[in-house]
Structure 1
């Protein structure tokens, strides 16, 4: 099973500027660590620190083409065969059981979609890589549902709390609290001191 994780250096603009970089890298590390324990991982990024974190944890690095999240994911899926997962780098509560649950509909030939609270998409389970289309952005979960139907694929919406609850703001970070992976939890502990 392949998991693709896009990581953009300039993301998380709603976090305080002084925390943005460290928190983003901590979350990336937590997500990659879990994904590597489940299978092959490709991290798509052009960020030097992100590349270091991902490669130290055993992920394969893919150069980000610099055309947005959808194109980054497409680059990560290039040449992939069989079941593929796509997971954002800002879900630090992720567990291996979440990835396994995301894979189940894909194993049955369906598109699995985890919608964030704002209607965007935090994770996808694809029966094969060529099912993916770069549809990220506002209300992208609905666009992925429509795409599945256009392909004649069934889709399954999964409300896996660890994947639904992403971190965009300081309040989001505080909400994940001790349930976050070790790197993000350490960051939160350091911030609260």
Structure 2
């Protein structure tokens, strides 16, 4: 199983400026660590620090073509065989068991879909790389559902809290709670009075 994790340089613009970089890299590390225990991992990024985090944890790095998240994911899926997962880098509570649960619909030939609370897409389980379409952005979860239907695929929407609860704001970061990955937990300890 291949997991693709897109990581955008300069992301997390809704977090306080002094925290953005550290939080983004900590979350990336936690997501990559969970993913490498389930199979091969490709992190697609143009960020030097993100590349270092990914390679230190055993992930392959793919150059981000710089044309948005959809193009980045498509670049990382190129040449992939079999079941593929696509998981955003801002999910610091993800565990290997969550990724294995995301893979179940794909193993059954369905599209696995985890929408964010805002209707965007946090994670996908693809029966094959060819099922992917670059549909990210506002309302993308609905677009992925429609895409699966157009392909004649059933889809299964998963509500795994570790994959639904992404971090875009300081309030999101505070809501992460007691179960973040090691790197995010250490960062939260360091910044919490």
Residue in structure 2 matched with residue 100 of structure 1 by the alignment: 100
Aligned residue pairs total 193
CA–CA distance in structure 2, aligned partners of residues 71 and 62 of structure 1? 12
Residue in structure 2 matched with residue 36 of structure 1 by the alignment: 36
The structural deviation recorded for 1:68 is 0.2
CA–CA distance in structure 2, aligned partners of residues 10 and 143 of structure 1? 26
CA–CA distance in structure 2, aligned partners of residues 191 and 150 of structure 1? 47
Aligned ranges for residues 4-153 of structure 1 at < 5 Å?
Answer: 4-153=4-153
The answer to whether the Cα contact below 8 Å between 1:177 and 1:188 also exists between their aligned partners in 2 is no
CA–CA distance in structure 1, aligned partners of residues 21 and 57 of structure 2? 18
The structural deviation recorded for 1:177 is 2.7
The structural deviation recorded for 1:9 is 1.1
CA–CA distance in structure 2, aligned partners of residues 108 and 17 of structure 1? 43
Render the CA deviation track for 1:39-63: whole Å, top value 9, x for unaligned.
Answer: 0000000000000000000000000
Render the CA deviation track for 1:60-100: whole Å, top value 9, x for unaligned.
Answer: 00000000000000001000010000000000000011000
Residue in structure 2 matched with residue 184 of structure 1 by the alignment: 184
CA–CA distance in structure 1, aligned partners of residues 168 and 153 of structure 2? 31
Q: CA RMSD in A?
A: 0.5
5+ residue gaps, structure 2: none
CA–CA distance in structure 2, aligned partners of residues 141 and 117 of structure 1? 10
The structural deviation recorded for 1:116 is 0.3
SS in 1 for 2:176: helix
CA–CA distance in structure 2, aligned partners of residues 133 and 55 of structure 1? 27
Render the CA deviation track for 1:118-174: whole Å, top value 9, x for unaligned.
Answer: 000000000000100000000100000000000000000000100000000011111
CA–CA distance in structure 1, aligned partners of residues 157 and 177 of structure 2? 25
Displacement over 4 Å in runs of 4+: none
